[in-house]
Structure 1
Amino acid sequence: MDPNITFDEEGTPWMVYGSFFGGIYLSKIDPTTGKLVEPDEGELIARRPHSVEAAVEGPYIVFHPELKKYYLFVSYDSLFRDYNIRVARADRIEGPYLDFNGNVMTNLENHPNESGIKVLGGYKFGQTEGWIGPGHNSVLKDGEQYFICHHARGERTEKHHALHIRKIVWTEDGWPLVSPERYAGEQERAIDQEAVAGKWEVILLDKHENNQVSSSSFELLANGKIANDEKGYWRHLNNNLYEFFISHYKLKRDVIILPAWDWSNWNPTLVFTGKDESGQVMIGKRIDK
């Protein structure tokens, strides 16, 4: 189920496939016939325990030529309520695929939600309509830009799927992160500190909470402090990279700030995505201009 053809660094085709119950497998393809080189199920590269119905599906592998890594994107859980997208990477297309903390994606000893960086899950900014169960993605490379394409359910129209296309950005240590807003043609650029100060809605994509997560409000003050947060601070590192420390979330995060279109409020804004030293992802959207 859910087969995708991908290519390794040498241009050899492979098929990554598999869904609930059996895990995710990878098989080499004969480029002259389009058939499997070996008539077996292939190499197991990801799985989950039966305590969560072994729920992993929708695999997609992309090779990043500059980073020299293979990235495996998969979806966890049920597309009806708690679907979420996880990422791991490997030096070889056959794996092993490891997440930020070195968890192997085939390890059944870990907690079922421990493996894989959770880059997107159900979310809701403020009082606007949110999204439920984003997942089953593919990755599009357009020139030097990368985009993630996936479906999601509207909070008020759960029976209908919508197609989302979002910008992928890359951290300095080589991990893909996903914009919290759908792509509308914006280009990455250096973001001035003056433009960042203001009110934001912020969401921690807790990998152990995969139902829809609501945002919390924070105000970034022009002096680099955070309103009503004695220990909190934020500062510009370089270009579109900032460092945030919000006491409520305990850990420091390097976040990438992007121009975006606010589809809920129908105006241009700024968004961010970033991870902390444990690989937990946080996303945010500026809401006052």
Structure 2
Amino acid sequence: MQENQLTFGVHDPTIIEEGGNYYLFSTDTGQPKTSGVPIRWSQNLRDWNFIGQALPEVPKVAEEWSSATGLWAPEIVRYRDEYRMYYSASTFGSTRSYIGLATAKSPQGPFHDQGLVVKTSPVLCHHNAIDANVVTDKTGKQWLLYGSFFGGLYILPLDNETGKPSVSGFGKCIARRPESVDTAIEGGFIYYNPKTNYYYLFCSYDSLNDSYNIRVARSRYVDGPYVDCKGHAMDDLTHEPDDIGMKVLGSYHFSGEKAVLAPGHNSIFKRSNNQLFMIHHARRKVFSDEFFLNIRKLEWLSNGWPVVSPCLYEEDCKQKLLGFAGKWHVIYFDETNGTQESLLEMIEDKDYQKISDNEFSWQGSLVKTWLEMVDGKPQQVFSGMTSKGYGIIARKF
């Protein structure tokens, strides 16, 4: 796929749709050289243009508390006729952090700062106020999911009318990791699926520089407990830390193509036609600023777990689905943090069992197949879950 240069420099992305237009908000990375929160615009989720920034300067109170020089990990939601952008102000490695709220009448702005939502410091608590995600539960009540490495992920009830906490305190911890892995968890996002009646907690494990990977667990209740497909709770410190959470996506390399490294900090975007997408960033080189936007279709297996496309989204493919048998390049994810290389697999009719028109059981894995457009041509893909509870993606050649 030809890469859009204007999607380079995108970190911690989130998208909102308004009137057939898409607006992308992301961390201030200095690419392009602006301050505040960069805003990009598209009409097709593929071709993006930089149109300005929200909050060109770090709000004074947030700057005084955090010493931040830029803003991180914005969350953009619409409530009635108001657009609410939650932003994080902090410095790398610090828990003296601040989540604020800014509002506007349009996703293009101008945004006006409405002040503090939650702040943290080593004196106040043991966790970190960054990476906001606003969750609307099945009753319509809103919650704030936030947190990172230090202390884990927390969820706090909001007042829908103000967009700010409805109770005092910091909320409830719903996911954390042990000191043995540097407590490395961040970038949480909760999506409620009405068809399964589960809340799904997506989050990123490990280092954003080289070993980021996206995990998921689920719960019947918005404030947890969140449990993975193996029965492990996301706040469990007794099992092997890399075995907790279904790994949906990690670093991978299809033969003959560029590697996708350290995918993480995802959001989930529902388009007006109800198609779901996972929005995240990834790198071309580890420990570099060569990060870029990834938009992938998100689908559901019949067992109620989400899977994502092995291809970046170009456009919808309306051609007829091909048969499942054939030659596939397959990526298996597991508990390791390395870059997974594609393996050539020849699948014959005798090797799989058909579950439905586009879902199959193969070698203990449950997989769903569909067509994607890749460089303007249809290509069959599949994505699923292995028997050990890890993600698997593949492309047919």
TM-score scaled by length of structure 1: 0.87
SS of the residue corresponding to residue 18 of structure 1 reads: strand
TM-score scaled by length of structure 2: 0.64
SS of the residue corresponding to residue 147 of structure 1 reads: strand
RMSD, aligned CA: 1.9
Picking from 19, 28, 38, the partner of 2:167 is 38
Query: 1:1-289 to 2 correspondence within 5 Å?
Result: 1-142=130-271, 143-155=273-285, 158-187=288-317, 191-193=321-323, 196-206=324-334, 208-221=335-348, 224-225=349-350, 233-245=351-363, 252-262=364-374, 267-287=377-397
Q: Which has the higher contact order (CA 8 A, sep 6+)?
A: 1
In 2, the alpha carbon distance for the partners of 1:175 and 1:242 equals 14
Deviation at 1:4, TM superposition (A): 1.1
Q: Taking structure 1 as reference, are residues 133 and 156 closer, same or farther at Cα in structure 2, changes over 3 Å only?
A: closer
Could you give the per-residue CA deviations for residues 177-217 of structure 1, whole angstroms, max 9, x where no partner exists? 11111112235887342xx33321111111x2122111111
Deviation at 1:127, TM superposition (A): 2.7
Count matched residues.
267
Could you give the per-residue CA deviations for residues 194-253 of structure 1, whole angstroms, max 9, x where no partner exists? xx33321111111x21221111111224xx25xxxxxxx1243321112212xxxxxx11
Name the amino acid aligned to 1:176: P
Specify every segment of 5 or more residues in structure 2 that has no aligned partner in the other structure, as ranges.
1-129
Could you give the per-residue CA deviations for residues 122-151 of structure 1, whole angstroms, max 9, x where no partner exists? 000113211100000000112332110000
Larger radius of gyration: 2
Structure 1 counterpart of 2:60 = none
Deviation at 1:40, TM superposition (A): 1.0
Could you give the per-residue CA deviations for residues 71-121 of structure 1, whole angstroms, max 9, x where no partner exists? 110000011111000001000101000000110000111111111100000
Specify every segment of 5 or more residues in structure 1 that has no aligned partner in the other structure, as ranges.
226-232, 246-251
Name the amino acid aligned to 1:119: V
Could you give the per-residue CA deviations for residues 20-66 of structure 1, whole angstroms, max 9, x where no partner exists? 12100000001222221222110100000011110000011111112
Q: Taking structure 1 as reference, are residues 156 and 198 closer, same or farther at Cα in structure 2, changes over 3 Å only?
A: farther
In 2, the alpha carbon distance for the partners of 1:189 and 1:30 equals 46
Deviation at 1:262, TM superposition (A): 3.3
In 2, the alpha carbon distance for the partners of 1:278 and 1:43 equals 30
SS of the residue corresponding to residue 221 of structure 2 reads: coil
SS of the residue corresponding to residue 109 of structure 1 reads: coil
